A = this chain, B = another copy of it.
C-alpha cells in the first residue's frame, strides 16, 4: 500500500489539532473531498432524537462512531425494567468487530450523526493495519474503566450522590469537548431527559427529579429552565458525588 487509504488514515491517526473532537477517527470536519469514492465502505447516517439506531439482537453489519450528538446503549428485562449501560458521546465507538448481531439497544438521545464503516472491510483493514487494533484496544480499555466507575455508582452510591456524579461527568465531558479551561464555574446543558438520567443511574425519574430539586435548593447547582445547569463550585459538586478528590485527580 503506497498511500494509506482514507479510512485507515481516519482511524489510525491519534489527534486532530484543529477541531473540538479529539480523534480524527471520528471527526467529520477533518474530511477531505475524496469522500464520495468510498461511499461503499464509509458513510454517514443521521438519526433524530428518540429514534432507535438498532435493536438488541438485530443483524449489524457495520461499526460506527459518533460524530455529533448523544446516543445510549440500554438493556431491557422482559418486564420492562431498563438500564443504560453505555452513553455514547462524540468520538465514542459502537459495534464489535467479529460480532454480527447487536448486543444492546442503541437509541439516539439527541439528534445524532454517525460515521459508519461496513464491517467486513473494516475487519480486513484491522488485520492489515495493526495501529487500528491498538487504538481500538485503548478506547475499549477507557470504556471499561468508565463502566467500572459506573458500577461503583450503581452499587453503592445514594440517589443524591448519583445525580451529583452524573452532573459532574457531563460537565467534565462538556468542558473537555469545548477545550474550555476547567475553571471553577461551569455552565452547560443536560443533554438527557429525567427518564434517561433515571435509566443511567438505576433510579426512577421521580427520584431523579426530587434530587435535582434538592441539589438546586442547597445551592450545589443553579438551574435555568429544566436543562441548563450552572455549577458555581465544582469541588463542592464532586464532594456531593462522593468522589475521591485527591486534589481533583481521579486515580
Contact = CB atoms under 8 A, between A and B. Distances in A.
Contacts of A86: 148
B156 A83 contact: yes
A85 interface: yes
Report how many copies the assembly holds. Answer: 2
A133 to B, nearest CB: 5
Interface in A96-117: 96-98, 101, 103-104
Interface in A134-161: 134, 136-138, 140-141, 143-145, 147-152, 154-156
B154 A202 contact: yes
Contacts of A81: 156
A98 to B, nearest CB: 7
A207 to B, nearest CB: 13
A154 B136 CA distance: 27
A118 interface: no
Nearest to A86: B148
A201 B155 CA distance: 7
Nearest to A162: B155
Nearest to A142: B96
Interface stretch (A13-21, A71-79, A178-186): A71-79
5 contacts: A83-B155, A98-B138, A101-B251, A137-B140, A151-B154
